[in-house]
Structures are given as C-alpha cells and as structure tokens.
Amino acid sequence: MLIAKSSNFCQIKNLIEQNFGLIVNEFTSLRNVMFLQTNQGEKILKKKKILLSEHQFILQELTYLKEHNFFNTLSYHRNKVGEGFMLFDQQIYVIMDRIHGEQCSYKNDLHLKTTTKTLANLHLAGTGFHTLLKDRQVVGKLIPRLKKELEELKFIKQLLQTNKPLTLFDDRVYGAIDEQIRAAVEIIDDLSQTRYFDLCKESDKITICHHDLVDHNIIINNGEAFFIDFDDSIVDLKVHDLCNYLNRVEYFFEYDISKYYSLLNNYMTINRLDHREWEILFKMLLFPYDFCCLSKEYYDGRCTGTFQYSEDIYYQKLEHILKNRSQKRELFQQILNEKNYL
C-alpha cells in the first residue's frame, strides 16, 4: 500500500509520478477535484470522503460491470502495485480518466431517454454482484428504513408541538405533517402486504444500484450517457435505484403521464420488470421521501447553524413538494389502472 505523510500538492504530484507512472505537466482546481494534464492524457485527481473498505467495494463493482460489458462509467487509474487509489495524510486519493461531454439535463428528452436506457443496462450488467460490506448490502432493509423515516417525522411533529413555531416553514410543516405521517404509515403497511421479501430472495431482481443519479453525475457524450461518482452505490433491488431516479426527474416534467410512460418504456425495452416489481416501485414512489428529506435538512441545519439555502428557498421547496403530492398520487393511480406499463 502506497502512503505519504505530508499535505503539500508538490509532494502529491511527486507521489503520483513515482507510483502511477504519470508525469503531471499542468493542473487546475475546480471545487473538490483537480484536473491534471499528464503524459497519458487528461486525468482527474479527487480526494474521497469514504472509508477505504467502501472505496474497495466501488473498485470491485466497477470491475464487475466492465466484465459484464457495461463501460459507460468512470475508470480508476491503477498504481504500480495494482491499487486504484493512494493514501496521503490518511486520506484516500484517486486518479480517474476524464470523461468529456456535457452535463445531463433532465429537461432534455433525448438526455432522459439515453440515461434511462443506460440505467437499465447498468442494472442488467450488475445482476449477480455480491458484497459482504454491511452498509452497502441493503437488500431486505427497505421497510425498516421507511419505519425509521416515519419515526423521524413523528419526532419533528413532537418538536413543533413542544416549541412554538418560529417561521413560515415551521407553520407549513406543522400544518402538513399529519397528512405526511398518514401517507408514510399507509405505504409501509401496503409494502408489508406485497411480495417485497420474496423479491429479495430472487437473485435476478438484485443488482448494483448507482443510488445518486443527480444530473451532474451523468455526462452525455455523442448520444451516450456515462455515470460517474459511485460513492453512494449499493446492492439492492433494481426498483430501488429506478425509484430514486424517477423521484429526481419527475420534477422536471411536472408529472406528465406521457413522459412517465416514455421513461418506463425506455427502461423496459432493455430490462423487464414483472408485476410485483411495478407494484413495489409505485408504492415506493408514493412514500413522502421529499418531505422527510427537506424537513430533516432544515431542522438539522437549524440545530447546527449550517443552512444550505435561505428561509425563502426552503419555504418555496416545501410548497412545491406539497403542491405536487396529490398530483403524483393521481398520476400513479392512473398508471396502475391502465396497466400500460406491463
């Protein structure tokens, strides 16, 4: 294992040249990465914020994907002893090939189409992958996780009952939280009546899940989508990853049923889902994740003094979530009634 004990970029540069065989000619910084011009082309240097065991898990799953003909992802440069990382001041640094292209736009129908098909291909290629890493193997843990979210909603309600609301955000959350708790209870009860645990025993339903397909983690190049940043990836049912993806993109097409059908059909042309998977997927999509996440983020930020947004922005986000809840429920009920997804 290659380890250095100082924190100067010149020494990092020397370490890169000594152990990776790369000569760094130029470098530029952008946010938390460095773009390197080397004798072997353009590379990216990034400091990881995960455990070494987690990074090794990521290396294993990326190798597995490539062995199963999925190449639309990042590649880590290996050092002279075959490791896809180096340790520097007890921090993990990695070097990746730079993928050129444009950031995915969820407002672009062509970008959505190619991203959805690429996700379906990733799930096909990742089928059969296993890990013993507890925090990354989450098969069968959905219902306990949703129950935890429910308890956190109840805690927020108790907090607001105990302390007089201070802001418009407080007032709006307090006025809506009972409905969100009822929705969470209903979805948890419904999921408990499905074949969820049966699916968790079927290996062809379990795969590598990217788990963080925000637009900046997708690069579009020559009509293809490339997925980067697998730091949050897990092993679970493929419908979990599909649910996360749909929850992100639906905001941009305002619950247009034709666009939902288009996305689902793009996925299904490559990777079929059976009726049990669809049932679980739609119930997962109706769970009030967005309300839970925004509320927790806001109140955690209040406790620590580290708000990500202004009060006005938080309130606008909350209003958007609440406005679309009934619209989202009506959309999925219509899809389930028509059964055109099968």
* DSSP per-residue codes, 229-249: --TT-EEEEHHHHHHHHHHHH
Each residue's pLDDT tens digit, 117-132 = 999 999 999 999 999 9
C-alpha 96/C-alpha 55 separation (Å) is 13
pLDDT reported for residue 340: 61
> What's 287's DSSP letter?
S
Q: Is 41 left (phi over 0), alpha (psi -120 to 50) or beta?
A: left
C-alpha 295/C-alpha 300 separation (Å) is 8
Q: What domain count does the chain have?
A: 2
Res 38 pLDDT > 50: yes
Pair of tokens at residue 40: 């072997």
Res 202 pLDDT > 90: yes
Supply the range of the domain harboring residue 121: 109-338
Residues 56 and 203 reside in one and the same domain:
no
> Rounded to two decimals, what is the model's pTM?
0.91
Cβ atoms 129, 207 nearer than 8 A: yes
**CA torsion, ordered 42, 93, 139, 127, to nearest 10 deg:** 30
Res 89 pLDDT > 50: yes
Give the Å distances, CA to CA, from 305 to 24, 51, 157, 298, 302: 40, 27, 20, 10, 5
Residues 56 and 79 reside in one and the same domain:
yes
pLDDT reported for residue 74: 92
Give the residue, 341 or 242, on which the prediction is more confident: 242
Give the residue, 105 or 80, on which the prediction is more confident: 105
Each residue's pLDDT tens digit, 299-326 = 999 888 888 899 999 999 999 899 888 7
Read off the amino acid at residue 223. Answer: G
Res 339 pLDDT > 70: no
Structural domain ending residue among the three candidates 98, 125, 145: 98
Residues 208 and 189 reside in one and the same domain:
yes
pLDDT reported for residue 6: 41
Res 114 pLDDT > 90: yes
- Domain with residue 26: its CATH number is 3.30.200.20
pLDDT reported for residue 32: 76
Structural domain ending residue among the three candidates 66, 98, 130: 98
Question: What percentage of residues in the chain have a pLDDT greater than 90?
Answer: 71
Q: Is 79 left (phi over 0), alpha (psi -120 to 50) or beta?
A: beta
Structural domain ending residue among the three candidates 64, 98, 132: 98
Tell the burial category of 258 from Cβ atoms under 10 Å away from its Cβ (0-12, 13-18, 19+). Answer: exposed
Residues 24 and 143 reside in one and the same domain:
no
Helix or strand (DSSP H, E) at 144:
helix 142-162
